[in-house]
Amino acid sequence: MRFFPPYSLLIVAGAFRSASCIPLDSRTQELYNPALAAVTSSTTTGMNTRQTATNGTATMAPPYFVIYAAEGEGPPPVANLTGFNVVCLTFLYANGTTAQWSPAAAWQNLPASQRASVKAEYAKAGIKLFISVFGSLDWPATEGADPTNTATTIANWAKQYDVDGVDVDYEDFGAIGKGTGEQWVIDFTTQLSKDLGGNYLISHSPIAGWFNATGPGLPGGGYRTVDKAVGSLINWYNVQFYNAPYLYTTCDHLLAESNGTWANSHLASQTSVFEIHEYAQVPLDKIVIGKPVTLHDAGGSYMNGTYLGTCIQQAKQDDWNAGIMFWQYSNVSSTMIQEARSLAFPL
Ligand SMILES: *[C@@H]1O[C@H](CO)[C@@H](O)[C@H](O)[C@H]1NC(C)=O
Ligand SMILES: *[C@@H]1O[C@H](CO)[C@@H](O)[C@H](O)[C@H]1NC(C)=O
Ligand SMILES: *[C@@H]1O[C@H](CO)[C@@H](O)[C@H](O)[C@H]1NC(C)=O
Ligand SMILES: *[C@@H]1O[C@H](CO)[C@@H](O)[C@H](O)[C@H]1NC(C)=O
Ligand SMILES: *[C@@H]1O[C@H](CO)[C@@H](O)[C@H](O)[C@H]1NC(C)=O
Ligand SMILES: *[C@@H]1O[C@H](CO)[C@@H](O)[C@H](O)[C@H]1NC(C)=O
Ligand SMILES: *[C@@H]1O[C@H](CO)[C@@H](O)[C@H](O)[C@H]1NC(C)=O
């Protein structure tokens, strides 16, 4: 099994997936029918409201409040998304297939008319729908996938299945550890932006530690290298401040000074929000703070919503306004985002 530290949360999620293998059809029926009744075809204008930036990527203003749908039920109903403005469906793989039972598969299997209706509902609620690609179980560079062809495959899928953006959850630890993964991501992102043609959003979801570019574990410079090369094509980063037991768990360690060496690795040092900004020079409005929704949604770094809300308030006072990402959607995710937003971005 490909299981390197830092352990990806997405591996943890795999365990949940097998526990929830309800046949896709019954799930989608259950979730979509009530929602669809309220939708009329005259509201299907979401596609036309995008703005196009000259650098080839669509624009969306921060803050971003992002939720990953990681279990089989497809896009969550708008009624359960209060507080969020971006939903990422997991996962589309580099080879163009979707993970079994995944929300991405559910979306792909819906009739086009139902996809359009859901999109219209989302647009009405101000929610963008993303397809998240790769994830921790798909290591495209290590497997020898061509970055340019892969980007074209992904872009075609995004267009065919009518999402607003592509989230690049690249977790090829093997290739990054060798220093070859960075160029793969750069080539991929360049082609993706080209193929998407300026009408789609692009986010990336690196682990926080990959912004430390000088440690021995990141010979290729990690995401600092990626950001230097193609940062202008990336709308924001859903930075994974998790799966790092005991790290990023206080406001100070999350925002100002990430503490310590994690499993004797350099990866956790100098990768708090403001350190990423200072050392990697990533703009503060692109560093979205990613956290698990519950203690069980990741291998560590959980903060409760009330406490996280105080950190968010501190960060906002220091001119950060990128937003919050949670892994993963459940019956408590909306409560969590509302708590985390309550002081700085109240609804
Ligand atoms: C596509 O990639 C996924 C993830 O790496 C893999 O599990 C699956 O077997 C591949 N499918 C095909 C048809 O190659
Ligand atoms: C693209 O360029 C525009 C105009 O310079 C800028 O506002 C926007 O933030 C850039 N897009 C991204 C994704 O960085
Ligand atoms: C980092 O800080 C947390 C919270 O104070 C603490 O539990 C943990 O032991 C620290 N980690 C290291 C490696 O110092
Ligand atoms: C990254 O990690 C190395 C090794 O632990 C450390 O010396 C360096 O200061 C860290 N910070 C940055 C911003 O590279
Ligand atoms: C939330 O976390 C903070 C900081 O760890 C703690 O002091 C507080 O008791 C927690 N609140 C709840 C409701 O668990
Ligand atoms: C959320 O769902 C879990 C089971 O997945 C259940 O145990 C829990 O009671 C539910 N919580 C709420 C607030 O509905
Ligand atoms: C979604 O909202 C409905 C209506 O409030 C509620 O019954 C259901 O439990 C919610 N589902 C989740 C997953 O939050």
CATH classification of the domain holding 151: 3.20.20.80
Report pLDDT digits (tens) over 174-207.
999 999 999 999 999 999 999 998 889 999 999 9
Nearest CA to 271 among 233, 297, 298, 301?
301
Please tell me the residue having the least CA distance from ligand 3 atom 7: 246
Mean pLDDT computed over every residue of the chain:
84
**pLDDT surpassing 90 at residue 265:** no
Atom of ligand 5 nearest to the CA of 303: 2
State the total domains in the chain. Answer: 1
β-pair partners for 202: 166
Whole-model pTM: value is 0.85
Residue 43 lies in a domain: no
Instruction: Establish if 142 belongs to a structural domain.
Output: yes
Q: Is residue 260 part of a domain?
A: yes
Answer yes or no: are the C-beta atoms of 176 and 222 closer than 8 Å: yes
pLDDT 10s digits, 120-133: 999 999 999 999 99
Note the pLDDT of residue 130.
Answer: 98
Mean pLDDT in residue range 62-89:
95
Average pLDDT rounded to a whole number, residues 92-112: 96
Atom of ligand 7 nearest to the CA of 331: 14
CB atoms within 10 A of CB 236: 26
Average the pLDDT over 69-76 and give the result. 89
Q: Is residue 249 part of a domain?
A: yes
pLDDT at residue 260 tops 90 = no
User: In terms of residue numbers, what domain contains 313?
Assistant: 9-38+53-341
Choose among 136, 104, 101: nearest CA to 3: 136
Residue nearest to atom 12 of ligand 1 (CA): 95
Ligand nearest to the CA of 94: 1
Q: Whose CA is nearest to atom 4 of ligand 1?
A: 138
Residue 46 lies in a domain: no
Q: Is residue 107 part of a domain?
A: yes
Q: Mean pLDDT lowest for which of 11-15, 84-88, 209-213?
A: 11-15
